[in-house]
Structure 1
Amino acid sequence: MADSFYNHNWNPARYGSVPQIRPFSSKPKVVNVPVNFVSSDEASLKMPSPSPPTTVSGADRKAAAIAIQKAVRGFLVRMNVRAVRQIAMEVNEIERKVREEEVKILGNSSTIDTPVDLKGSVGESIEESSIHQAMEPAMELEMEIPASEPAIGDLEVAMGMEMENRAAVESINMEIGEEGTGSKAGEPSEELRGLRVMMERMAGENETLKMMVSRLCETSAEQCRLMEGLAGRVSNLEHVVHRMDRRKKSKGAAARR
Structure 2
Amino acid sequence: MEPSPEVRTTLESEQERPSWTRVIGVFDLETTGVDVTADRIVTAHVGLLDAQGSVILARDWIADPGIEIPDAAAAIHGVTTEHARALGAPAGDVVEQIVDVLRSLLDAGIPVVAYNAAYDFSLLAAEAVRHAVTPLRDPSPVIDPLIIDKTYDRYRRGKRTLAAVAEHYAVPLVDAHHASADAVAAGRLAQALAARFAGLLPPRAEELHTRQIAWARAQAASLTEYFIRIGRLDPQDQVDGGWPIR
Q: TM-score, normalised by structure 1?
A: 0.20
Larger Rg: 1
Q: TM-score, normalised by structure 2?
A: 0.21
Hey, which of these two has a bigger chunk of helix by percent?
A: 1
